[in-house]
């Protein structure tokens, strides 16, 4: 394969916009979202609410901004947020929980996306002189960006029951919400009915170039819009994000289904290669994590040799890499990538 034939499997954020998305952007008549006058954005808000069963929504530039806004809106400084140890909002958002919301965290065990509800019940705290009050339960779909685990509906239901009993809100970082919905065989609203607020990324699995939708009650979204402005996310001409987002959201079922099937095929093939092992199997969504036997080669050498032949994967540990399937990596691309990977680890 030519070095110029680049196959980027580091993330589904590598998706390229479709011709229809580019045409939609060119056709946008830009209006001001601060005044709620942008037609594409208003249409995307309406579609989001229809799909998720929420009362209102707001567009932001990124899932990280949506997450930060949500935690700020749902907590008060000095409170505690309960979440899983692999949560993106804990590990990869620049300590925003502390810097922006002024909250601390408490981790509970999560096994392949299943939250330990006994540990959650024990972690929930009411306000006292020396103990931080639980301000929020933060969930993630899919759970663990290096694994793509899916939380069962029963687990959501049990968490909601505990949250209601203790009068604690629940937020869902649904960056890959639609991957979870497809894996569970349910509509997204069957997941989001168990949380108070949710965000999902317009890129990643959905395949739009950029953006996130944050959804919840009308009161929550009014607060969220003020916080978006405070964080510098007014943006005004949000039709640039919304126009391709409308197309992506309308097509989510076909896009996600193809990605999941592709990931399963990649895992089946590469899992049979000596020196490699699939560490997050069975594959539930579009993420494949591989361990590379150090006796074959160091992981940095493995990544470098693949990159030199036009295949890009992401290092996630001293002996592990991540591959994420997406629309822009076609079946032919994935076959070529698997060929390169096999040839790279083959005894020389």
- The closest alpha carbon to 196, from 159, 234, 225, 229, belongs to 159
Separation between Cα atoms, residue 274 and residue 296, nearest integer Å: 9
Q: Which whole number is the average pLDDT over 5-25?
A: 95
Residue 1 has pLDDT above 60, yes or no: no
Write the burial class of residue 337 (CB in 10 Å: 0-12 exposed, 13-18 middle, 19+ buried). Answer: buried
Whether the CB-CB separation of 136 and 169 falls below 8 Å is answered with yes
Q: How would DSSP label each residue in 179-211?
A: HHHHHHTS-THHHHTTSSEEEEESSGGG--SS-
pTM recorded for the entire structure: 0.96
Residue 2 has pLDDT above 70, yes or no: no
Binned at pLDDT 50, 70 and 90, residue 4 comes out as: very low
Q: Which domain holds residue 322?
A: 7-15+253-345
User: In this structure, are 38 and 184 located in the same domain?
Assistant: yes
Q: Which whole number is the average pLDDT over 208-228?
A: 97
In percent, the amount of the chain with pLDDT more than 70 equals 99
User: In this structure, are 276 and 196 located in the same domain?
Assistant: no
Burial string for 129-168 (b: 16+ CB within 10 Å, else e) reads eeebbbbbbbbbbbbbbbbbbbbebebbebbbebbeeeeb
Q: Which whole number is the average pLDDT over 55-69?
A: 98
User: In this structure, are 319 and 330 located in the same domain?
Assistant: yes
Residue 348 has pLDDT above 90, yes or no: no
Name 136's bridge partners: 81
Q: Which whole number is the average pLDDT over 314-330?
A: 97
For 302, list phi and psi in degrees, rounded to 5.
Answer: -60, -50
User: In this structure, are 303 and 334 located in the same domain?
Assistant: yes
Residues 249-307: tens digit of each pLDDT: 999 999 999 999 999 999 999 999 999 999 999 999 999 999 999 999 999 999 999 99
User: In this structure, are 108 and 238 located in the same domain?
Assistant: yes
Residues 223-232: tens digit of each pLDDT: 999 999 999 9
Mark which of 233, 250, 267 sits at the end of a domain: 250
Mark which of 232, 250, 268 sits at the end of a domain: 250
User: In this structure, are 233 and 270 located in the same domain?
Assistant: no
User: In this structure, are 35 and 63 located in the same domain?
Assistant: yes
Q: Which whole number is the average pLDDT over 6-29?
A: 95
In this prediction, residue 227 carries a pLDDT of 98
Residues 63-109: tens digit of each pLDDT: 999 999 999 999 999 999 999 999 999 999 999 999 999 999 999 99
In this prediction, residue 234 carries a pLDDT of 87
Separation between Cα atoms, residue 325 and residue 266, nearest integer Å: 9
């Amino acid at each position: 394969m030519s070095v110029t034939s680049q196959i980027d499997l580091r993330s589904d954020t590598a998706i390229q916009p479709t011709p229809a998305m580019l045409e939609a952007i060119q056709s946008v008549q830009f209006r001001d979202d601060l005044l709620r006058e942008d037609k594409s954005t208003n249409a995307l808000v309406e579609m989001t609410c229809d799909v998720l069963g929420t009362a209102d929504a707001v567009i932001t530039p990124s899932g990280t901004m949506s997450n930060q806004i949500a935690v700020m809106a749902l907590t008060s400084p000095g409170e505690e947020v309960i979440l899983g140890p692999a949560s993106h909002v804990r590990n990869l958002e620049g300590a925003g929980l502390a810097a922006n919301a002024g909250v601390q965290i408490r981790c509970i065990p999560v096994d392949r996306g299943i939250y330990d509800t006994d540990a959650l019940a024990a972690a929930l705290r009411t306000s006292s002189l020396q103990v931080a009050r639980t301000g929020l339960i933060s969930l993630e779909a899919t759970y663990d960006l290096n694994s793509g685990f899916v939380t069962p509906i029963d687990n959501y239901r049990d968490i909601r029951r505990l949250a209601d009993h203790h009068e604690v809100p629940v937020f869902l970082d649904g960056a890959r919400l639609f991957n979870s919905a497809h894996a569970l065989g349910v509509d997204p609203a069957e997941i989001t009915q168990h949380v108070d607020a949710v965000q999902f990324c317009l890129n990643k699995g959905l395949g739009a170039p950029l953006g996130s939708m944050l959804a919840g009650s009308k009161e929550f979204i009014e607060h969220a819009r003020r916080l978006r402005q405070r964080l510098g996310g007014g943006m005004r001409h949000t039709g640039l994000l919304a126009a391709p987002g409308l197309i992506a959201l309308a097509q989510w079922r076909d896009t996600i289904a193809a990605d999941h099937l592709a990931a399963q095929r990649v895992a089946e093939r590469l899992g049979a290669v000596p020196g490699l092992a699939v560490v997050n199997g069975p594959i539930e969504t579009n993420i494949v994590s591989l361990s590379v036997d150090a006796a074959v080669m160091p992981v940095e050498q493995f990544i470098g040799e693949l990159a030199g032949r036009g295949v890009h994967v992401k290092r996630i540990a001293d002996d592990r890499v991540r591959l994420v399937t997406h629309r822009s990596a076609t079946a032919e691309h994935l076959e070529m990538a698997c060929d390169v990977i096999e040839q790279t680890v083959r005894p020389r």
